[in-house]
Amino acid sequence: MHLDASAGGSINQKTAEEVKELIEQMRQNEYNMNNERSTKPAGMLQLDKKTAYQKEIELLK
């Protein structure tokens, strides 16, 4: 199902070489997505500026 969607139609209409290239591109995309996810430090929250300032003020009290 994912291959058909990625191929822009039925995967059966592609040559073996086109299918191999498509799978390689999908593999590379998955690899890149996993690397992008792992660059963010674990346990860190991203807050908007207002919330961050409020928390900082609370800590200073």
pLDDT in tens, 43-53: 666 778 888 88
Range of the domain at 33: 2-60
Average pLDDT of span 32-51 = 69
Q: Is the confidence at residue 32, as pLDDT, over 60? A: yes
More confident of the two residues 7 and 56: 56
What is the value of pTM for the model shown?
Answer: 0.47
What total number of domains does the chain contain? 1
Q: Is 29 helix (H, G, I), strand (E, B) or coil?
A: helix
Report the percentage of the chain scoring pLDDT > 90: 0
Burial of 6 by CB count in 10 Å (0-12 exposed, 13-18 middle, 19+ buried)? Answer: middle
* Residue keyed to tokens 């290239």: 21
Average pLDDT of span 9-36 = 81
